């Protein structure tokens, strides 16, 4: 049954659950298919019980999500996944915990996005980041971008707080006009600060979608493209 | 981490992959949640490599999907699922293969829908079925409905063939106006034949959505409601 030219992806999901479903949908849309069997096999742990990354990183003292994510990775490997992906930007703070727990490759979304920006848009000097303040605090993107000579621009503190509230609203199922307007306001702030483009670096925001007032590069879309390419054996997982 | 008042659902998916994503989305929408942790844990094998049910049942001689589905069930149980659901009406022809392979309950979508119709809409005498011809051939719904004193009505042969082409189009990613118009035509045919309501008994058609010219009961929605109720421990799996 398994096509030996194809690889099975294991997805650490649930951070949040809607964002994982959004990623699965992107994978399906990006796969050329005439029938079910042309699609790739995805085994997914849509686990919303992973300890809050926002709580652990921003508020401090929360339960460490690392061991839970490592356990999810091990289970996906035992199941038969050939490589893993983590459907959450912030959760990449715990990337090493997952990588060290398994013997299969784990896509690093942060590296993937940074390299994508460098390769595809070498003219971009200043890139805005639309992400949870937890991502800002961890320095995940900042470190990679600076290494590649790209300057990362973040929303001003009041806008960063506004963006956190947008993400929290999406997690609670609210995606109304007010939420979308707040999201636009934050993008305008990044634009005023000199961002020529922005990375949508939060799978919640990817799932929200919509037209933005800045050129946007969606981390979830880049991840989905990578998953399809690796699963279809067009490239090896990095 | 795991809330011991909650149960984890294992979903046999990929039949097709888009329909499984649609079911996951329904589960999320039906779960009252203020944050990630309020959602239920879903472990999902979105496996589009299950041998074609349509080929095995309609055309004959295709590979038996039963052993593959039994293996998926066993892996979901080993992973930690407390109960299973199969995200495909037609695949319930192989329900016993899954049930016999595991020690946890497996929701039977066909029984669930039939009982739902009987309990919630006792006045319905004649119910149309919007499903793959494979479902018709297996007699899955016919048998249950007749036992409950409900008459099932199926599209005329040319309309049933049109519906199969609609389902195949959706599986190949085509959901344009022509596909939707053909779907409507089939519903009109059921109405003319005396159906007072119709069961959407194909997860592909559930994922297509849209307003129909008959009162519709969606098997995927009924399944999602049951999964949330069982996972949240509001009822035991039947």
DSSP string for A40-76: PPEEEEE-TTSPPHHIIIII-SSPPHHHHHHHHHHHH
CATH class assigned to B9-108+221-231: alpha beta
A63 to chain B, any CB pair closer than 8 A? The answer is yes
C-alpha distance from B196 to closest chain A C-alpha (Å): 33
Chain A residues in contact with B75 (beta carbon < 8 A): 79-80
| 8 Å CB contact of B172 and A35 | yes
- For residues B94-98, give the mean pLDDT: 97
> In this complex, which of B39, B40, B46 lies closest to A41 when CB atoms are compared?
B46
Residues in B 111-150 with any Cβ partner in A closer than 8 A = none
- Which residues have C-beta within 8 Å of that of residue B139, sequence separation ≥ 6? none
Given the structure tokens 């990375």, which residue do they identify? A199
Q: What is the mean pLDDT of chain A?
A: 92
Does residue B4 have a pLDDT over 80?
Answer: no
pLDDT digits 0-9 by tens, A85-144:
999 999 999 999 999 999 999 999 999 999 999 988 888 888 999 999 989 999 999 989
B173 confidence band (pLDDT: 50, 70, 90): confident
| Mean of pLDDT values over B53-81 | 91
Instruction: Find chain A residues with C-beta within 8 A of B231's C-beta.
Output: none
The pLDDT assigned to A81 comes to 96
Mean pLDDT of B180-199: 94
Q: What pLDDT, on a 0 to 100 scale, did the predictor assign at position B2? A: 46
Give contacts of A44 with chain B, Cβ < 8 Å.
42-46
Quick one: what percent of chain B has pLDDT higher than 90? 74
Residues A126-159, buried b or exposed e (16+ Cβ, 10 A)?
Answer: ebbbbbbbbbbebebbbebbeeeebebbbbeeeb
Over the stretch A193-225, which tens digit does the pLDDT of each residue have?
999 899 999 988 998 988 899 899 999 999 999
Put simply, whether B28 touches A (Cβ < 8 Å) is yes
Total-model pTM: 0.92
On whether any CB of chain B is under 8 Å from the CB of A238, the answer is no
How confident is the model at residue B1, as a pLDDT?
41
Residue that has been written with the tokens 């929408």 in this structure: B29
Query: Does 1.20.1260.10 match the CATH number of domain B110-219?
Result: no
CB of A168 less than 8 A from some CB of B:
yes
Confidence of residue A59 (pLDDT cuts 50, 70, 90): confident
A20 neighbourhood in chain B, CB within 8 Å:
24
Looking at chain B, which residues constitute the CATH 3.40.50.1860 domain(s)?
Answer: 9-108+221-231, 110-219
Helix (H, G, I), strand (E, B) or coil at B121: coil
pLDDT band at A58 (very low <50, low <70, confident <90, very high): confident
**Which residues in A105-238 belong to E strands, given as ranges?**
126-130, 151-153, 197-200, 215-218
CA–CA gap between residue A53 and residue A64 (Å, rounded): 8
Predicted local confidence at residue A172, as pLDDT: 86
**d(C-alpha A19, C-alpha B76), whole Å:** 22
Please give the pLDDT value at position B69. Answer: 97
Residue A202 a catalytic site member:
yes
Reported confidence tier of residue B128, pLDDT bands at 50, 70, 90: very high
Contact B34 A80 (CB under 8 A): no
Taking CA–CA distances from B63, the nearest residue in chain A reads A1
Q: What is the mean pLDDT of residues A22-50?
A: 94
Q: Is the per-residue pLDDT at A3 higher than 60?
A: no
Average confidence (pLDDT) over B89-111: 96
Which pLDDT value is given to residue A51?
93
Q: Give the pLDDT confidence score for residue A2 in this predicted structure.
A: 46
pLDDT over 50 at A148, yes or no: yes
B24 in A contact zone (CB under 8 Å): yes
């Amino acid at each position: 049954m398994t096509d030996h030219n194809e690889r099975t992806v294991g997805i650490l999901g649930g951070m949040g659950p809607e964002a994982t479903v959004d990623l699965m949908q992107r994978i399906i849309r990006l796969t050329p298919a005439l029938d079910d069997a042309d699609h790739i096999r995805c085994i997914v742990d849509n686990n919303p019980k992973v300890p809050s990354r926002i709580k652990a990183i921003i508020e401090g003292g929360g339960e460490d999500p690392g061991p839970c994510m490592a356990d999810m990775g091990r289970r996906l490997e035992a199941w038969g996944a050939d490589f893993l992906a983590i459907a959450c930007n912030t959760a990449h703070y715990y990337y090493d915990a997952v990588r060290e727990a398994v013997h299969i490759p784990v896509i690093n979304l942060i590296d993937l996005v940074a390299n994508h920006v460098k390769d595809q848009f070498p003219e971009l000097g200043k890139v805005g980041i639309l992400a949870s303040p937890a991502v800002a605090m961890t320095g995940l993107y900042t470190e990679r971008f600076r290494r590649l000579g790209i300057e990362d621009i973040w929303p001003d503190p009041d806008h960063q707080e506004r963006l956190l509230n947008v993400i929290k609203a999406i997690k609670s199922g609210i995606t109304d006009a007010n939420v979308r307007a707040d999201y636009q306001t934050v993008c305008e702030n990044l634009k005023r600060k000199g961002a020529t483009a922005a990375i949508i670096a939060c799978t919640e925001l990817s799932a929200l979608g919509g037209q933005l007032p800045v050129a946007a590069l969606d981390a979830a879309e880049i991840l989905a493209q990578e998953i399809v390419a690796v699963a279809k054996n067009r490239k090896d997982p990095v």
